Amino acid sequence: MPEKSTIEQVCIMAGKMMLESGAETYRVEDTMDRIAQAYGVENPQSYASLTEINFSTGLTNKNSFIRITKRETNLHKVDDLNRISRQIADGKLRPEQAIQEFEQIEEHSIAFPIWVQLAASGLASGSFAVMFGGTPPDFLPALLAGMIGYAAMIALSLLFEVRFLSEFFASFLLAIAAYVFIRYGVGNEMDKVIIGAVMPLVPGLHITNAIRDLMLGHLIAGLSKGIETVLTSCAIGAGVAMLFAFV
């Protein structure tokens, strides 16, 4: 059996990277437990919340703690981590090899270029505007407003440590863009354009994860994620409402 300190390092690294990449809390804990059991730990104890991870190799052993300060949505990284954890469970990787694999994923994490993200957000915005009852001419202004809002969120997130501020001002800017487009005859229904444009900002994955965690009994993590999504939704709604307070 490998040293417990090395096993703890593997489990903590896996849990931290998964939680930072948007994985569900129950998936994080299950992955950590399975890795520990694969290395011969009989009674691993893992606990994950939105901002921290606790792990020990037994009921009476010392507890390892790490704080989570940043989170993003990177399902490709989650898939890579799941692949490595399955290899560990099959006995194909020693702890030292697993640590190297995790470090490589951290260093070479796939992130789409900004222009790809903007193009995807624009296409999603235009499609949602039409899907929610807009007319075909509403596709273009929703596409452009969605790209403006998403670009603003990326840029403002570099200025503000509080993410809700970047989401607030991003929704305000996309609402202004939608208003200008409709005012000058580009598109027909401003409400449909705004609804479509804000969709890339809506935390859909976090809402799903919060519900799944609550259903599986992870009450603290589920409630904290739910509150975070509510605050995000309020920030987006307040940014749009701010436009109508001035026009």
**pLDDT (0 to 100) of residue 212:** 84
* Number of helical (H) and strand (E) elements in the chain, helices listed first: 10, 3
Measured distance CA(12)–CA(9) in Å, rounded:
5
Strand order in the sheet with 64-67: 45-48, 52-56, 64-67
| Digit-coded pLDDT (tens) for 10-65 | 999 999 999 888 888 888 888 999 999 998 888 888 888 888 898 988 776 678 88
Measured distance CA(150)–CA(132) in Å, rounded:
20
DSSP for 159-199? T-SSHHHHHHHHHHHHHHHHHHHHHTTS-S-HHHHHHHHHG
Taking only Cα atoms into account, the Rg of the chain, rounded to an integer number of angstroms, comes to 21
Q: Residue 36 in contact with residue 64, Cβ under 8 Å?
A: no
Residues 6+ apart with CB under 8 A from 7: 35, 36, 39, 41, 57, 95
Within its chain, how far is the Cα of 175 from the centroid? Answer: 24
DSSP annotation of 133 reads T
Give the H or E element holding residue 67.
strand 64-67
Q: Mean pLDDT over all residues of the chain? A: 87
| Digit-coded pLDDT (tens) for 189-216 | 899 999 999 999 988 878 888 888 888 8
In this prediction the pTM is: 0.78
Question: 3-class DSSP state for residue 47?
Answer: strand
**pLDDT (0 to 100) of residue 3:** 66
